[in-house]
Structures are given as structure tokens and as C-alpha cells.
């Protein structure tokens, strides 16, 4: 299985990057369930079904199929938007887009580390206008060094948290018994027998998105065929013009306000607790109402004004369980100090886990200082990064949210925005902006997939120690192939010739942001710190109500999670999931509630299966692709 996974890694990386670079389709890593990996697992499951029937001795075991799921997921992370793609664009975008008008050269270009950037004008000309190849010596000379250094940085960054997994595994998996909803479908698919495949409810659920995608794909090539609107950007789903018709202050809530209908997101919503679905759409509308109220008083609430409040909520989201786990963490540290042996069922010895994390952290701080950060800023940056990593892992383990982006409050953005240039200084601000690429949204970090491997090990015959250790070389392999295909596609076609504004935007985003910060020369943002404190207090307040009043309907996690960009895509599917769950429980009863996971599996597999087939068809035929998710 390791060999099969290794052979699939380059094909998988090419697929993810080709979608973004050649077809302008948002890649699978923007959602928690990497649908490209799910599609590959379905294909492998079909092959395995034939083997079970005709060559049982050659068939894969459920543990082997789940190992394939985990290894392909962590390898996919390297090609994701919030890792490879944004980092690649930002590392050379400052030099390509510098001009006399934006004054970047005089502001900060000299402060960017040459070891992690590319500034050669001829090389940038080739990468943006194409007609070249990564195999040409002139390109290898320019790109090999920076690419290798980024590869090493990202490998260390993503390998280091396996020490945290050891420290938290027993608490989350065995004591708190987190549900890990995202891996329920792969766990079902890996079994030798799948009883719900014979259930007609499942096939009705499959047929619904299949029909929608059939019409959508045909409409792409034959516009006279009608389509059913599902995606963000379709004017038929936009509530903005409707609200604008009421004038001020109602139009303040109209930006990115769509009633999207993604079947596989609805399916994921059906796997979530009903109270979480309720909280996600309720607080999403709450933030919209806040903008309406602000506009009625003549205030102009920025579209991202709730981010500092959400940041405080996120910190409380991880602070609450970490405080509850303080005794378990203390026990692990004491065992590490005494160098106790690895216990049965644990992937690592406590001393090994602590050593891996500390060594990785020290190496990363050294790399940060090498890139230009001061020691305190480098330590604070990577400490916050790992706090955010644990937050994402917790969200996935407890709630299985369809997306867990932490957009625009990563350590690069948060330190630069709140502390500001007067305290940080020009060099720290410049290097933090270079690191913005891999901290922008953090939607595709491999940590939750690695943690889920331990949950799967507790449920099946999967070896938790071997699979966790195997994720490290597959992280490295996935990053390596992602760099190769990124440079291959970019040099061949040219970044500036691709469809849509994606590449131009992300190549300039962090540097335009830095230019604004430096020009404003703002002091410490005490107002945003105060907003974060409000968010932290608000989360704990909702948690207190929830713990004291069992009938309290709102989940405190929705307070923070509803603020993400992709909740604009997902709030309406969450509303539909909540309505369906509530109506089923009230009018159908326990038998209907038990059937909802089967409906969820059908919606997810029908949408992903038929949507992925359309994309593969477009890749083979070199025609525009129908995007079932964007």
C-alpha cells in the first residue's frame, strides 16, 4: 500500500494544481474533506470489490485502504492554496510587481531574504509569460535553491506537530471520545461490506446531485440546456441586489450574501450535531445583522471588522479544552522527564514526543531568524502557528466542520496588524509578510489528517505508530511533487496567461498589505485587542450558558466559525441540514434520524463522484470545466 500511495502522489498533486492553474477551479483543499482523495478512495474501493470477488487473497484490508486515505490526504496538503500556491506566488510577486508607483523597492524589497525569494527579472519574465521549462538549466539555477529551502521549511513545520499528537491523543480519542465526523465516510468505505449500498434512500440521495451536475456540465458546453444554480457567484442566488432594493441600511449586509446549494456540503452538515448547524447559520446572519445596525447609525462596518472578535473566539475554542486537559498534559511531561517507555497503543514515547516538538520548534525559530526575524518575533510567530494548528485539529476532532479556515488572523497578519510597524520594525514586518503565504488561511495543514489516523487506529487494525510516522515522508514527498508541478505548469504556460485574477491577486496581496501598514505607520491596535477580548469573553459566556442550561440551543463554536469567508458558501446548506434534521426528528422519529447518515453519504458521493468526472473529462479534452465546487 505504501508503494501504491507513493505512485499516486505525483498524479494527485498534478490534478490539484492543474485545476487551479489551468481551469481556475478552487482546489479540493479548501474544504475539510479533500474530495480528490475521497474520489481516489472510491476508485480503489471499486477495484478492491472486484478483488474481493475474484482474487480475495490479493484484496486490500480495511486498514490498508484507510492508510491510503491518510497518506494521500497529508500529501495533498502540500499542493493546497494555503501552502504551496500562495507561498509560491508571494515569494516572487514583490519583485515582479514592484513599480515606481507603488514604491515597493524603496519600502521593503531590500529586506526580503534572497535565500527564500526569486528576484531575477529574466526568470520572472519566463515564469509569468511561459514558453519555458523547469528542466532548462537557466531555470533550475534560479529556482532550485529557493524551492529546496521552502521544501525543507514546510517539511519541518508539518512534521513537528506529531509530538503534539502524542500529547493530546489519549485525551481527545479515549477520554473525551471526540467523534471525528470527517472520517466516518472513509471508514465506512474501507469496510469489506457496505450495507447501506443496498438501501434505496442512498441511491435517491446519490441521484439528486448527479442530476444537478449532469445539467451543470451539459450547460457548460451547451448553454441552451438549463442548469440548477448551486454555486457562489451565480446571480440567481445573490441576495445582495434584493437587499439593495430596500436601500440603506439593508444594503450593508449584501456583500457575499448567497443562498448556495452544494449537495456535498449539505451532506457534511447532516453529519454534524444539529446545534452546531443551527449556530453556524445563526451567527452568520448575526454578523450580517450587526452590519445593518451599524449602517443605521451611520457607521461603516468593514467587511472584515468581525475578524478580531472571531480571533478571540478561536483562542477560547482551544483554550477551554486545553485547560481541561492540563492534568493530562502535565502527566505526559512528567513521563517525558522520567523517560518512561512507550505505552501500548501510544504512537510515541512521551520523551520522543516532547523531543520532536522542541527540536522542530528550535529549528523553525532558527530558520525564522535566518530569514530576518528577531528571536522574540520568530518564537512568537511559530508558537502562534502551532496554537492555530491545534485549534484546527480540535475543530476537526470535535465538530467536523466542512471548512476550518483561519483566514487573516494567522501569525503573520495578526502580529503585523495588532502590534504594528512601530514595535516590530521594517525587517520583521517584511519577513512576516513573506511568511503570510502559508499562514493565510491554514485550510490544508496536515495535522488534522495525522490526528485522524490515530482515531482510525483506535477503530480498526491500523497501526497507529506506523501510520503516524509514515505521514512525515509523505508530507515531504507531496511537497516535492507540488513544487515540481507548480514550476512545470507555470513555466510552460505562464502565470500571467491563466484564467481569472487568482495569480495576480495572490502574488501582490501580502505586499500591498505590507505597503499599507508601513505607510500608515500605525501604533499598537488596542481597539482590535479589545475586540479579541470581547470575542474570548463571548465564547466563554455562551459556553457557560450551554453548561448550565441544557436546553441552550447554540453551540459556542459557531460564534467564531461563522465568520470565515467560506461560510458565505456554507451557511445556507447548514440551514438546510438543520431544518432537515429537526423535521426528521420531529415528524419521522428515530428511524428517520438513523437514515440521515445514509442520505449524507449519498449526497457527498454523488456530488463528488459526478463532479470529479466532469473535471477529468475537461482535463482529457482540454475544454473548460464544469466546477461543482468553487
pLDDT score of 311: 67
Cα end-to-end distance, the chain, whole Å: 32
pLDDT score of 526: 65
Q: Work out the pLDDT band at 563, boundaries 50, 70, 90.
A: confident
Q: Work out the pLDDT band at 516, boundaries 50, 70, 90.
A: confident
Cα 65 to Cα 61: distance, rounded to the nearest angstrom? 7
Is the preceding omega at residue 289 within 30 degrees of 0, hence cis?
no
Q: How confident is the model over 28-52, as pLDDT tens digits?
A: 888 888 888 999 999 999 898 888 8
Q: What angle do CA 484, 490, 496 make, to 5 degrees?
A: 160
5 touches 149 (CB < 8 A):
no
3-state secondary structure at position 225: coil
429 touches 421 (CB < 8 A):
yes
Cα 605 to Cα 596: distance, rounded to the nearest angstrom? 14
- Using the CB atoms, write b or e for 209-234: b if 16+ within 10 Å: bbebbbebbbebeeeeeebebbbbee
434 touches 95 (CB < 8 A):
no
Looking at per-residue confidence, does 561 or 504 come out higher? 504
Most confident of 329-333, 378-382, 539-543: 378-382
- Average pLDDT, whole number, for the chain? 85
Q: Which of 189-203, 506-520, 538-552 has the lowest mean pLDDT?
A: 538-552
Cα 540 to Cα 358: distance, rounded to the nearest angstrom? 31
Q: Work out the pLDDT band at 306, boundaries 50, 70, 90.
A: low
pLDDT score of 485: 94
Q: Work out the pLDDT band at 166, boundaries 50, 70, 90.
A: confident
Q: How confident is the model over 333-348, as pLDDT tens digits?
A: 787 787 777 777 778 8
623 touches 221 (CB < 8 A):
yes
Please report, for residues 18, 94, 143, the alpha-carbon distance to residue 124 in angstroms, rounded to integers and kept in the order given. Answer: 20, 11, 10
Q: Work out the pLDDT band at 569, boundaries 50, 70, 90.
A: confident
Q: How confident is the model over 450-460, as pLDDT tens digits?
A: 999 999 998 88
Tell me how long the chain is: 630
Q: Work out the pLDDT band at 85, boundaries 50, 70, 90.
A: confident
Res. 325: pLDDT tops 90: no
Q: What's 506-547 look like in SS3?
A: HHHHHHHHHHHHHHHCCCCCHHHHHHHHHHHHHHHHHHHHHH
Is residue 198 classed exposed, middle or buried when 0-12, 13-18 and 19+ CB atoms within 10 A define those classes?
Answer: exposed
**Residue 333 half-sphere exposure toward CB, CA atoms < 13 A:** 8
33 touches 268 (CB < 8 A):
yes
Q: Work out the pLDDT band at 174, boundaries 50, 70, 90.
A: confident
pLDDT over 90 for what percent of the chain?
Answer: 37
pLDDT score of 80: 86
pLDDT score of 31: 82
pTM of the predicted model as reported, rounded to 2 decimal places: 0.90
Q: How confident is the model over 385-426, as pLDDT tens digits?
A: 998 888 888 888 888 777 777 766 677 777 777 777 888 888
Res. 359: pLDDT tops 90: yes
Please report, for residues 230, 403, 516, the alpha-carbon distance to residue 30 in angstroms, rounded to integers and kept in the order given. Answer: 17, 7, 27
Using CA atoms in the order 16, 21, 25, 28, what is the torsion angle rounded to 10 degrees?
20
Q: How confident is the model over 486-496, as pLDDT tens digits?
A: 999 989 888 87
Find how far residue 277's CA is from the centre of its chain. 19
When pLDDT is averaged across residues 282-292 and rounded to a whole number, the result is 84
3-state secondary structure at position 238: strand
Amino acid at each position: 500500500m505504501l508503494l501504491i500511495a507513493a505512485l499516486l502522489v505525483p498524479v494527485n498533486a498534478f490534478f490539484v494544481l492543474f485545476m487551479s492553474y489551468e481551469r481556475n477551479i478552487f482546489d479540493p483543499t479548501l474544504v475539510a474533506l479533500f474530495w480528490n482523495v475521497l474520489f481516489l478512495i472510491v476508485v480503489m474501493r471499486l477495484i478492491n470489490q472486484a478483488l474481493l470477488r475474484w482474487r480475495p487473497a490479493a484484496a486490500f484490508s480495511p486498514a490498508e485502504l484507510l492508510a491510503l486515505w491518510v497518506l494521500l490526504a497529508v500529501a495533498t496538503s502540500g499542493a493546497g492554496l494555503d501552502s504551496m500556491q500562495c507561498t509560491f506566488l508571494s515569494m516572487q510577486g514583490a519583485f515582479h510587481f514592484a513599480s515606481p508607483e507603488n514604491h515597493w523597492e524603496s519600502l521593503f524589497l531590500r529586506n526580503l531574504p534572497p535565500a527564500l525569494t526569486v528576484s531575477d527579472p529574466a526568470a520572472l519574465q519566463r515564469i509569468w509569460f511561459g514558453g519555458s521549462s523547469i528542466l532548462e538549466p537557466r531555470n533550475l539555477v534560479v529556482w532550485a535553491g529557493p524551492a529546496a529551502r521552502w521544501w525543507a521549511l514546510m517539511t519541518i513545520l508539518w512534521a513537528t506537530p506529531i509530538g503534539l499528537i502524542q500529547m493530546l491523543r489519549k485525551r481527545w480519542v479515549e477520554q473525551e471520545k471526540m467523534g471525528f465526523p470527517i472520517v466516518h465516510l472513509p471508514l465506512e468505505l474501507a469496510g469489506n461490506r457496505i450495507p447501506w449500498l443496498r438501501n434505496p434512500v442512498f441511491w435517491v440521495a446519490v441521484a439528486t446531485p448527479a442530476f444537478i451536475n449532469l445539467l451543470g456540465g451539459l450547460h457548460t458546453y451547451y448553454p441552451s440546456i438549463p442548469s440548477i444554480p448551486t454555486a457562489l457567484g451565480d446571480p440567481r442566488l445573490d441576495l445582495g441586489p434584493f437587499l439593495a432594493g430596500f436601500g440603506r441600511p439593508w444594503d450593508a449586509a449584501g456583500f457575499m450574501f448567497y443562498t448556495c446549494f452544494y449537495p456535498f456540503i449539505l451532506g457534511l452538515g447532516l453529519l454534524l450535531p444539529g446545534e452546531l448547524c443551527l449556530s453556524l447559520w445563526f451567527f452568520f446572519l448575526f454578523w450580517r445583522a450587526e452590519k445593518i445596525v451599524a449602517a443605521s447609525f451611520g457607521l461603516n462596518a468593514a467587511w472584515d471588522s468581525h475578524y478580531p472578535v472571531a480571533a478571540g473566539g478561536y483562542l477560547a475554542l482551544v483554550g477551554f479544552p486545553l485547560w481541561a486537559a492540563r492534568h493530562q498534559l502535565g502527566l505526559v511531561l512528567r513521563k517525558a522527564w522520567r523517560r518512561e517507555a512507550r505505552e501500548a497503543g501510544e504512537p510515541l514515547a512521551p520523551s520522543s514526543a516532547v523531543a520532536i516538538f522542541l527540536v522542530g520548534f528550535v529549528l523553525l525559530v532558527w530558520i525564522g531568524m535566518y530569514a530576518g526575524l528577531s528571536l522574540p518575533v520568530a518564537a512568537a510567530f511559530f508558537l502562534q502557528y502551532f496554537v492555530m494548528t491545534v485549534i484546527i485539529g480540535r475543530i476537526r476532532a470535535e465538530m467536523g466542520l466542512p471548512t476550518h479556515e483561519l483566514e487573516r488572523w494567522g501569525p503573520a497578519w495578526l502580529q503585523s496588524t495588532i502590534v504594528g510597524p512601530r514595535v516590530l520594525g521594517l525587517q520583521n514586518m517584511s519577513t512576516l509578510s513573506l511568511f503570510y503565504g502559508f499562514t493565510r488561511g491554514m485550510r490544508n495543514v496536515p495535522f488534522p489528517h495525522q490526528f485522524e489516523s490515530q482515531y482510525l487506529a483506535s477503530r480498526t487494525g491500523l497501526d497507529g505508530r506506523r501510520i503516524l510516522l509514515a505521514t512525515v515522508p509523505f508530507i515531504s514527498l507531496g511537497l516535492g511533487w507540488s513544487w515540481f508541478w507548480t514550476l512545470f505548469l507555470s513555466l510552460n504556460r505562464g502565470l500571467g496567461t491563466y484564467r481569472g485574477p487568482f495569480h495576480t491577486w495572490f502574488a501582490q496581496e501580502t505586499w500591498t498589505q505590507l505597503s499599507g501598514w508601513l505607510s500608515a505607520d500605525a501604533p499598537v491596535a488596542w481597539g482590535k485587542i479589545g475586540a479579541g477580548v470581547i470575542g474570548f469573553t463571548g465564547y466563554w459566556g455562551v459556553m457557560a450558558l450551554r453548561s448550565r442550561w441544557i436546553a441552550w440551543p447554540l453551540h459556542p463554536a459557531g460564534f467564531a466559525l461563522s465568520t470565515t469567508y467560506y461560510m458565505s458558501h456554507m451557511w445556507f446548506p447548514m440551514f438546510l441540514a438543520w431544518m432537515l434534521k429537526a423535521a426528521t426528528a420531529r415528524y419521522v422519529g428515530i428511524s428517520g434520524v438513523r437514515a440521515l447518515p445514509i442520505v449524507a453519504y449519498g449526497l457527498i458521493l454523488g456530488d463528488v463522484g459526478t463532479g470529479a468526472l466532469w473535471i477529468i473529462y475537461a482535463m482529457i479534452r482540454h475544454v473548460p470545466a464544469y466546477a461543482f465546487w468553487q
